[in-house]
Chain A
Amino acid sequence: MNDLSSQNTDRKKWMSLLAKAPEGRIAALLDTATARPGFDWLRAPEVGSVMVRGRMGGTGDAFNMGEMTVTRCALKLGCGTVGHGYVQGRRKACAEAAALIDALMQTQAAPRIQAEVLDPLTEETEARQTSRADKAAATKVDFFTMSRGED
Chain B
Amino acid sequence: MYVSVKGGERAIRNAHGWLAEERRGDRNVTELSLAQIREQLTLAVNRVMAEGSLYDPDLAALAIKQARGDLIEAIFLIRAYRTTLPRFGYSEPLDTARMTCDRRISATFKDLPGGQILGPTFDYTHRLLDFKLAAEGDAPQAHSQPATQGEVPHVTEFLNNEGLIEETARTGKAPPDLTREPLEMPAERALRLQALTRADEGFTLGLAYSTQRGYARNHAFVGELRIGMVAIEMEIPELGFAIEIGDMTVTECETVNQFKGSKTEPPQFTRGYGLVFGQTERKAIAMALVDRALRWEELGEDYVGAPAQDAEFVLSHADNIQATGFLEHIKLPHYVDFQSELELVRKLRRTVQAAQSQEAAE
Select A55's contact among B49, B93, B194, beta carbons within 8 Å.
B93
The residue in chain A whose Cβ has the minimal distance to the Cβ of B88 is: A48
Q: What's the nearest-Cβ distance from chain B to residue A143, in Å?
A: 6
Q: What per-residue 1/0 map shows which CB atoms of B139-163 lie under 8 Å from chain A? A: 0001111111100001011000000
Chain A proximity of B60: nearest CB distance (Å)? 11
Known A58-B273, A89-B56; judge A50-B232 contact (CB<8 A): yes
**Distance between B102 CB and nearest chain A CB, rounded to angstroms:** 5
Whether a CB of chain A sits under 8 angstroms from the CB of B76 is: no
What 0/1 readout, one digit per residue, does chain B (90-104) give for beta carbons within 8 Å of chain A?
111110110011110
Do the beta carbons of B247 and A88 come within 8 Å of each other?
yes
Q: Are B85 and A53 in contact (CB under 8 A)?
A: no
Residues of B within 8 A of A59 (CB): 97, 154, 157, 168, 170
When distances are taken between beta carbons in the complex, the residues of chain A under 8 Å from B189 are 56, 63
Segment touching B, from A28-36, A105-113, A116-124, A133-141: A133-141
Q: Are B115 and A50 in contact (CB under 8 A)?
A: no
Q: Which residue of B lies closest to A3 (CB)?
A: B241
Which of B17-25, B116-124, B258-266, B341-349 touches A? B116-124
List of A residues within 8 angstroms of B9 by Cβ: none
Q: Mark B188-209, 1 if CB is under 8 A from A, else 0.
A: 0111011001100000000000
| CB-nearest residue of chain A to B83 | A49
A132 at the interface (CB under 8 A from B): yes
CB-CB nearest in chain B for A23: B58
Please report the C-alpha to C-alpha distance between residue A69 and residue B56 in the assembled complex, in whole angstroms.
Answer: 6
Q: How many residues of A sit at the interface, in one of the four size bands?
A: 35 or more
A65-B118 contact in complex given A50-B89, A138-B144, C-beta closer than 8 Å: no
- Does A46 lie at the interface of the complex (its beta carbon under 8 Å from any beta carbon of B)? yes
B26 within 8 A of A: no
A138 with B174: in contact, given A57-B273, A69-B55, A69-B56 (CB under 8 Å)?
A: no
Are A50 and B117 touching (Cβ within 8 A)? no
Contact assessment for B85 and A51 in the assembled complex, using a CB-CB cutoff below 8 Å: no
Query: Which residue, of B90, B173, B231, has the highest number of chain A Cβ atoms within 10 A?
Result: B90
A57 touching B168 in the complex, CB below 8 Å, given contacts A16-B231, A52-B91, A138-B142? yes
The reply to whether A66 and B53 form a contact with Cβ atoms under 8 Å apart is yes
Instruction: Give the residue name and chain of the B residue nearest to A14 (CB).
Output: B243
Give the top 5 A-B pairs by smallest Cβ distance, nearest first.
A88-B246, A60-B168, A57-B168, A16-B244, A134-B144
Which residues of A come within 8 Å of B, CB atoms?
1, 4, 8, 11-12, 15-16, 19-20, 46-70, 72, 74, 84, 86-90, 129-141, 143
What is the interface of chain B, defined by CB distance below 8 A to chain A?
Answer: 49-50, 53-56, 58-59, 82, 85-94, 96-97, 100-103, 110-111, 115-120, 142-149, 154, 156-157, 168-179, 189-191, 193-194, 197-198, 229, 231-232, 234, 236, 238-248, 250, 252, 254, 271, 273, 275, 277
Q: What would 9 more interface pairs be, CB under 8 Å, given A54-B197, A89-B246, A132-B102?
A: A12-B243, A52-B232, A53-B94, A55-B168, A61-B169, A64-B175, A69-B54, A86-B236, A86-B243
